[in-house]
């Protein structure tokens, strides 16, 4: 009998939220999407991400990212990073549990509806119509301009499936550079040991993995829209307080979170990998909101945990 598949993500927590709270969350997302759609397409962040991973490959593998076999775990509803990397000449493939919208065809939205229900389908339609279709077109145009010829969307590089499925890693053995950003915090804690072991067991023995989760104990770890890395410093009226998810937790985010701490990730990873680097993306993020009263309320957590947020682990599989 085959081993049961462990889902990469879980949506069980979403159903516990009242409908009005989910609706409020969607409306905030909608306003953010509309605001973003008004801006001219800018690929600076994609290029910065590419250069960062390229530098990491050069430092630890001694060659550029374009000379490596690369896998991205969890490319997300907007696989623009993978598309950009492909446009730079990187041999990259990716896997995500959810069906992405690549061309805006009715069949794609139907697949989202059948797999993830009407809520996810509705979000996908809204995201595509508001801004994603224009951004995708601009992205492909920019890559075509860089290459001097038409750059086709690399749909075959975007696999839909479960990253904890052994069959996937059997097809993608000997990857030299595996990375995942803002994904591991959405994977059930009970599924992570098996996934981490599969990654280590399938990749090139001298390759590296770069895992960058959003640590739950950081000020951004609760995934409240008001406390995202790019919104936490914006002056705005907030329903939630700093570290709301560790304190009152009145308004849980409309997404599954496994609530792992930085220490939890360190312990989990060390079972199969040597940790070559552990770096906080923005040291001290959230410290300006800390008061003596809040610090006393959060005395069970160390400063390392409270100010971690996005942490990059560079790993090499143990022989």
pTM score, two decimals?
0.86
Average pLDDT over residues 118-122: 79
| pLDDT tens by residue, 180-214 | 999 999 999 999 999 999 999 999 999 999 999 99
* Residue 166 pLDDT greater than 80, yes or no: yes
Of 19-33, 175-189, 216-230, 256-270, the least confident: 19-33
Res 113 pLDDT > 60:
yes
- Binned at pLDDT 50, 70 and 90, residue 99 comes out as confident
In this prediction, residue 26 carries a pLDDT of 63
Residue 65 has pLDDT above 80, yes or no: yes
Q: Is residue 90 pLDDT above 80, yes or no?
A: yes
258 has a pLDDT exceeding 80: yes
Average pLDDT over residues 215-241: 90
**122 falls in which pLDDT band (50, 70, 90)?**
confident
The residue that leads in pLDDT, 202 or 230, is 202
Predicted local confidence at residue 1, as pLDDT: 31
Quick one: pLDDT at residue 61? 98
Sign of torsion over alpha carbons 80, 81, 85, 88? positive
Structure letter (DSSP) for residue 210:
E
- Residue range 217-242: mean pLDDT, rounded: 90
Instruction: Work out the burial of residue 180: count CB atoms within 10 Å of its CB; fewer than 13 is exposed, 13-18 middle, 19 or more buried.
Output: buried
Running DSSP on this structure, what letter comes out for residue 92?
A: E
pLDDT number for residue 124: 80
What architecture is domain 1-18+162-319? 3-Layer(aba) Sandwich (3.40)
| 41 and 134 Cβ atoms separated by less than 8 Å | yes
Contacts of 86-89 with CB under 8 Å at 24 or more apart are 86/154, 86/157, 87/143, 87/146, 87/147, 87/151, 88/50
Higher per-residue pLDDT: 23 or 120:
120
| 301 or 20: which leads in pLDDT | 301
pLDDT at 237 over 90: no
Residue 256 pLDDT grade (very low, low, confident, very high; cuts 50, 70, 90): very high
**Does residue 54 register a pLDDT over 60?**
yes
**pLDDT tier for residue 247 given thresholds of 50, 70 and 90:** very high
Phi, psi for 22 (deg, rounded to 5)? -65, -40
The full set of domain ranges for the chain reads: 1-18+162-319, 43-48+67-87+96-160
Identify whether the C-beta of residue 256 lies closer than 8 Å to the C-beta of residue 209: no
Q: Which tokens sit at 193?
A: 């040991």
Closest by CA position to 211, among listed 280, 313, 85: 313
Separation between Cα atoms, residue 234 and residue 224, nearest integer Å: 14
Which residue matches tokens 């609706």? 23
- Residue 304: phi and psi, rounded to 5, are -55, -40
**Beta-carbon count within 10 A of 248 CB:** 11
Tell me the per-residue pLDDT of 21-46, one tens digit each, with 9 for 90 and over. 666 666 666 666 566 656 778 999 99
Give residue 236's pLDDT band: very low, low, confident or very high (50, 70, 90).
confident
| Per-residue confidence (pLDDT) for residue 21, from 0 to 100 | 65
């Amino acid at each position: 009998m085959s081993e049961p598949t462990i889902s990469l993500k879980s949506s069980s927590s979403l159903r516990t939220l009242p409908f009005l709270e989910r609706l409020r969350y969607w409306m905030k997302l909608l306003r953010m999407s509309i605001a973003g759609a008004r801006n001219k397409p800018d690929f600076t962040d994609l290029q910065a991400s590419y250069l960062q991973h390229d530098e990491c490959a050069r430092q630890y593998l001694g060659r550029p990212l374009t000379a490596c076999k690369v896998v991205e775990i969890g490319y997300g509803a907007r696989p623009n990073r993978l598309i950009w990397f492909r446009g730079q000449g990187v041999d990259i493939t990716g896997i995500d549990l959810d069906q992405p919208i690549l061309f805006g065809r009715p069949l794609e939205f139907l697949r989202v509806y059948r797999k993830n229900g009407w809520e996810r389908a509705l979000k996908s339609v809204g995201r595509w119509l508001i801004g994603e279709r224009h951004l995708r077109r601009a992205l492909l145009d920019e890559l075509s301009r860089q290459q001097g010829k038409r750059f086709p969307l690399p749909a075959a590089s975007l696999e839909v499936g479960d990253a904890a499925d052994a069959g996937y890693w059997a097809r993608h053995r000997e990857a030299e550079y595996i990375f995942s950003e803002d994904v591991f915090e959405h994977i059930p804690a009970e599924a992570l040991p098996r996934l981490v072991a599969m990654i280590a067991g399938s990749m090139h023995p001298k390759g590296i993995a770069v895992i960058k989760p959003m640590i739950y104990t950081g000020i951004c770890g609760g995934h409240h829209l008001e406390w995202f890395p790019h919104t936490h410093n914006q002056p705005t009226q907030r329903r939630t307080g700093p570290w709301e998810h560790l304190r009152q937790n009145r308004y849980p985010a409309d997404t599954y979170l496994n609530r792992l701490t930085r220490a939890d990730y360190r312990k989990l990873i060390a079972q199969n990998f040597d940790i070559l680097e552990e770096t906080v993306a923005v040291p001290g993020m959230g410290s300006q909101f800390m008061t003596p009263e809040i610090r006393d309320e959060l005395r069970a957590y160390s400063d390392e945990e409270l100010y971690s947020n996005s942490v990059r682990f560079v790993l090499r599989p143990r022989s």
